[in-house]
Chain A
């Protein structure tokens, strides 16, 4: 999304842009899977929101580890993003007055999240894609689909182009430029099971790091509290249930261990458990924020309850997300509005289910397809999973990495979310970086290049980079191993999740290093720590 919005804006400003993506179309970038929403300090709800308050919440939510100047700028342009997206034809949710609707997200006490059902990322990405399409049609952006960036080329210390592989023909191509912008997302897939797309393999960010771009805060990985629990070893990835569900869902586990056992063995249904036998542990521990605590807090609390043996599914790694009280609350409201007199409890619940369906219909459908249970009739089960990486490539205030002329935007950089990202702020950051930051900061670097002219791809630096890329690929292809790539990815990822996941300690981290070394020997000579 950062890449699409940046290339559209740069092309509008008159720059010639070459854009690369590994998918068959830029419309499929994984930003499309973002569900819940996008924050903006519009104060449409008149609940005291302001640029300062968005700035404050984001810095506090990130445990004071964000770069504050960048976050303040983010808060300042947040409102422009909403204006821009509406102008592009992004169909945000609206109320009956025709004005934009908002909801709340974790770690925030105001209602500042704009949304389009559970598909906000899709709508915003397609907005950026359409802006991009307009420039592709004009010839200002040249689009290279099914291409993977395999290295950055440095000439006189500056980033001057890339080596890319055409994923259809396998050809290695050289592309020169006056600046290189990386918008390739985070490194969540090092954990194997995550909510990231299968192709989000962090190659581009890794390659610029190897060429000298600093990496910052790699320890900050977001474990999202509301994912669908894993079902077995066959699983290739996890699916998120939007945090927006915590607006209306209440999280609980049984209070008594014998009830947990009865539920696991199927003798007891969660709906049969009495109110006083349920432990709404977030509401109990954090009465001000309740179920809307920040993500890291919610995830750790779920893990703590499950580690204590209160997990409600067979693997013991699940808690309930229950909409029963929301059905009643909305149902009563709807009955009043529609003038249904003496509505029966069944009628109220039915009306309430309708309201929830209008809000989160696609999420409930997705859950039902995956778990094969009807979440309107029985509480959802959720468990934390790797979702986003706050750490990333180090950038300065201009979003430039430590390689002059090489930039990193969106999740690929480290700057805005500190140690924990609040909900609905990834889309905000991606679009802010792409639409409103980079187009203005990149000029600082490009101004010096006004007389440089085109850069030849015949320079020795390009030849050298291409040679190294080809050698690296040949090593992988000629490796006479007996296992698939997935075999290694799965095992390495499991070590990451077990030892470098939600809680870490010295002993576990040392064990992880030993295990990695063992797999590296199995794999051959390719892994990074053998070179280190």
Chain B
């Protein structure tokens, strides 16, 4: 396949960026999107130009590193995949592809397609955990049975990979899907239920502090989420948050 790529190039976080055009030839339809980017970078290096910086690591759709906004969609046109698992057979020979970084105030661009997602880490630090130490004498794992339904729902929420596609997709750059996935996972399990309200308050506070926008229930995040995290989680978080602000003293 021969393609034209229009890629966002930005030297560093303070520089002004712009789309730059590249032609690439001989791309295998069986290669992944990132392997196509490897080919481009290899060509650039051999010509003595600077390769395009992009985040990637596991290349099997689970680490959440890759973060490309392709033709106006987070992780490109395919559903339920990350960029690394998007394959070139989803594109047409001769097509022009636009590649941009995640765009959000809370995710400043570091270089080219690489953004700073440390805001997510700080939201997690504010309460995305169960307060239990590694003492080695926690109670037996089967001491508290958990209904399969609740365990399965908690698991579905827990599959979030923290890639930030939800934020990049949202017109308000809201992080509600990400935050609510963690709040839901832990609120659904008895182990996390105890501090569910405190958690919701602290994580939401940090989320607002980081400059993420509000949720207006459009649902675009759910569509673009590579792990299919459900909008239901946001409703669950709102319930936790609301009841917490009414009843809790913290």
Question: Chain A: residues with CB nearer than 8 A to chain B?
Answer: 5, 8-9, 12, 23-25, 27-30, 32-33, 42, 44, 77, 80, 82-100, 116-117, 119, 121-123, 126, 129-131, 133-134, 136-137, 143, 145, 168, 195, 197-199, 231-232, 234-237, 239-240, 365-366, 369-370, 372, 435-436, 439, 482-484, 486-487
B140 close to A232 (CB less than 8 A): no
Give Cα A83 to B134, complex, Å: 10
> Does B145 lie within 8 Å of A99, measured CB to CB?
yes
Instruction: Tell me the bound Cα distance from A58 to B14 in angstroms.
Output: 54
Residues of B within 8 A of A82 (CB): 141
Identify A366's interface contact among B60, B89, B141, B162, CB under 8 A: B60
Are A91 and B28 within 8 A (Cβ)? no
Whether B60 lies near A234 (C-beta < 8 A) is no
Within 8 Å CB of A44, what residues of B?
A: 142
| B60 contacts A33, C-beta separation under 8 Å | yes
Contact between chains at B64 and A145 (CB < 8 Å): no
Q: Nearest Cβ distance between residue A317 and chain B, in whole angstroms?
A: 15
The answer to whether B63 and A32 touch across the interface, beta carbons within 8 angstroms, is yes
Interface segment out of the listed B51-59, B208-216, B217-225, B238-246: B51-59
Interface of chain B, main secondary structure: loop
Write out the residue numbers on chain B whose beta carbons fall within 8 Å of the beta carbon of A96: 148
Q: Are B60 and A232 in contact (CB under 8 A)?
A: no
A134 vs B146: C-alpha distance when bound (angstroms) = 24
Q: A133 touching B129 by the CB < 8 A rule?
A: yes
Beta-carbon contact of B134 and A100 below 8 Å: no
The smallest C-beta distance from A365 to any residue of chain B, in angstroms, reads 7
A87 in contact with B191 (CB, 8 Å): yes
Report B-chain residues with C-beta under 8 Å of the C-beta of A137.
125-127
Let me know if A236 and B38 touch, CB within 8 A.
Answer: yes
Interface segment out of the listed B78-86, B165-173, B229-237: B78-86
With A116-B155, A122-B62, A484-B46 known as contacts, the answer to whether A136 contacts B141 (CB < 8 A) is no
What are the interface flags for B59-91 relative to A under an 8 Å C-beta threshold, 1 for contact and 0 otherwise? Answer: 111111100000000000010110001010100
Q: How far is the CA of A94 from the CA of B149 in the complex (A)?
A: 9
Nearest residue, chain A, Cβ from B129 = A130
B50 interface residue (CB < 8 Å to A): no
A24 touching B65, Cβ below 8 Å: yes
Decide if B46 touches A483 in the complex (CB within 8 Å): yes
For the complex, is B198 an interface residue (Cβ under 8 Å from A)? Answer: no
- Interface assignment of B106: CB less than 8 Å from any CB of chain A: no
Does B151 lie within 8 Å of A94, measured CB to CB? yes
Which residue of A8, A168, A236 contacts B59 across the interface (Cβ within 8 Å)? A236
Give CA–CA (A218, B129) in the complex, Å. 38
Q: How far is the CB of A228 from chain B (nearest CB, A)?
A: 10
Complex CA–CA separation, A365 to B61 (angstroms): 11
Cβ-defined contact, B38 with A25, below 8 A: no
* Neighbour of A232 across the interface among B28, B42, B56, B134, CB < 8 A: B28
Which residue of chain A has its CB nearest to the CB of B110? A168
Question: Which residues in A have their C-beta under 8 angstroms from that of B128?
Answer: 130, 133
**Contacts known (A25-B162, A88-B132, A93-B151); A136 close to B30, Cβ less than 8 A:** no
* B118 CB contact (under 8 Å) in A25, A87, A198: A25
Chain B, Cβ-Cβ closest to A6: B134
Known: A32-B62, A372-B89, A484-B46. A80 touches B186 (CB 8 A): no
B141 touches A27 (CB 8 A): no
Residues of A within 8 A of B148 (CB): 94-96, 98
Do A117 and B58 form a contact, CB below 8 Å, given A25-B120, A130-B130, A370-B85?
Answer: no
B151 touching A80 by the CB < 8 A rule?
A: no
B64: nearest chain-A partner, CB-CB: A28
Q: Known: A27-B64, A88-B129, A372-B87. Contact between A33 and B58, CB under 8 A?
A: yes
Interface string of B31-44 (1 = CB under 8 A from A): 11011001101100
A33-B62 in contact given A25-B162, A97-B145, A372-B87 (Cβ < 8 Å) = yes
For A123, what are the chain B residues with a Cβ–Cβ distance below 8 Å?
155, 158
Whether, in the assembled complex, B185 has its beta carbon less than 8 Å from a beta carbon of chain A, the answer is: yes
Q: Whole-angstrom distance between the alpha carbons of A117 and B162 in the complex?
A: 19
A366 to B28, CA, bound (A): 19
Known contacts: A117-B155, A369-B85. The answer to whether A89 contacts B138 by CB under 8 A is: no
Nearest B residue to A8 by beta-carbon distance? B134
Q: Which residues of A contact B145 (CB under 8 A)?
A: 94, 97-99
Q: How long is the Cα–Cα vector from A92 to B78 in the complex, in angstroms? A: 29
